[in-house]
Amino acid sequence: MPQHRIGLIVPSSNTTMETEVPELLHRHGVASGERFTFHSSRARLHTVDPESLHRMVGEGTRCARELGDARVHVVGYACLIALMAEGPRAHERIEPVLAEVAATAEDPTPIVSSAGALVRTLLDLGLQRVAIVTPYLPALTQLVFGYLAAYDIEVVDSVSLGVADNHRVGELDPGGLPGHVNRLDLRRADGLVLSACVQMPSLPSVQTVEDSVGLPVVTAATATARELLAAVGLPAAVPGAGAALAQPMSKPLPSR
């Protein structure tokens, strides 16, 4: 059986996406027999602030070109807040540019950004009012509010953990997420974004929280994995990973 080569563009300080995405796709492979390999290119980022995020985005074409050299089958642009900080609907502008850079003479290379994947997943699941947990300083959490609002997705409540050092974000305990969720007012919410950041670990708590609150739970990582699977023509189904990977996509992405 051929392997699906998954490319990831990650911030240089990210230690989570190269853990959670392979784990999710490994679970898929156990159930389906599919095989995956993972290949990363890194863009410098230490502190999660607008200036640093903008510089990191500027490295995106280099990263996409490197992954194109590896002839990966899809690329995940794994920094949600970096694209959101570029302005409303930024993923709609940036994904096609990176896809063109990453394409080889033989094949196009789909680009899935975490920002775009989160928006598309929430819309596909019909989640128009969400509560969110972020590791960001409050000003960056407000930026997420505005980004989602452009798609008529309302953030009804949020928790911001106020961590600016991206390395420290990756060291946050996912076991603490249920406690953070308890601080949220979920009465108007029809869904929960448990981790609106690809660096904040969340996978061990996703299904536990979904079962506890009785609402669909999505994270930046599960939304990204959902679209990576779809981009290589596989069903976006992974056991024990919450709503993003438990329901078929109503509008499947074009596969490679």
- For 214: left if phi > 0, alpha if psi spans -120 to 50, otherwise beta; the answer is left
Q: Tokens standing for 219?
A: 């994270």
How far, in Å, are 8, 49, 160 from residue 179 at the CA level?
31, 26, 13
Q: Would you call 63 a catalytic residue per the annotation?
A: no
With beta carbons less than 8 A apart as the criterion, state whether 135 and 109 touch.
no
- The residue annotated as part of the active site, out of 17, 74, 79, 229, is 79
Q: In what order do the strands lie in the sheet with 217-219?
A: 154-160, 129-134, 191-195, 217-219
- The residue annotated as part of the active site, out of 17, 197, 203, 213, is 197
User: Cβ contacts of residue 120 below 8 Å, gap of 6+?
Assistant: 223, 227
Alpha helices in the chain (DSSP H): 17-32, 50-58, 60-69, 80-84, 90-102, 114-124, 138-149, 166-170, 177-181, 203-213, 220-231
Q: Would you call 79 a catalytic residue per the annotation?
A: yes
- Using CA of residue 131, residue 210, residue 231, residue 233, what is the dihedral sign? negative
Q: Tokens standing for 32?
A: 């389906």
Residue numbers annotated as active site: 79, 197
